[in-house]
Amino acid sequence: MANPKVLVFFASVTGDGGSGKDPLDGGDSVSPPSPAKVSFRNKTMVNKEKPVSRPHIDLLKENLTKIEYEDDNPLKPKVVIADLLFEGLCTPWQDTLVVKLLRKKLGFNLMKERLSRICKLKVCFDLMDVGNDFYMAKFNLEEDRTKVIDEGPWMIMDHYLIV
């Protein structure tokens, strides 16, 4: 996806709001536009791969999903998806590890920071909070994933990390 073009518009007002008086400096100079501001997202995503964009598909029209009602009760819907679609949704998460810290609750940011520190990985990894103090860790390198699995046991704040 190409970067969107940023258009900067500016206006210069001469005089004092249409009173007919000349500006004090006597010139009709126009100030140059200020440089376009760079967003935080653009600064942080400079050298990272952009996520793959999937086309929007109406799954009901394509017969990839259907809605069934339990006991013909519209208050109990059940969504059934095709096996091909299910496999496609699972593909990005096939090589993730589920981790949990025994008898200790850590917030998301602290858990990610401690995992990064103790494992000493070569590249960064993605962490997703799935509830009940379980996290899914997706590693960008197979070497890092193997290191986490093979070189344990890991401890964070004197508590074992279950992988």
pLDDT digits (tens, 9 = 90+) for 106-147: 888 888 888 888 888 778 888 888 888 899 988 888 888 888
Kindly report whether the global pTM for this prediction surpasses the value 0.75. no
108/96 Cα distance (integer angstroms): 17
C-alpha distances in Å from residue 124, one per residue of 43, 104, 121, 137: 17, 24, 7, 11
Q: Is 64 exposed, middle or buried (0-12, 13-18, 19+ CB in 10 A)?
A: middle
Q: How far is C-alpha 86 from the chain's CA centre?
A: 21
- Higher-pLDDT residue of 19, 92: 92
Question: Which of 53, 52, 51, 62 lies closest to 84, judged by CA?
Answer: 62
Q: Which domains does the chain have, with CATH numbers?
A: 58-92 (no CATH), 93-162 (3.30.70.330)
pLDDT digits (tens, 9 = 90+) for 49-82: 666 676 788 888 888 888 899 998 989 999 898 8
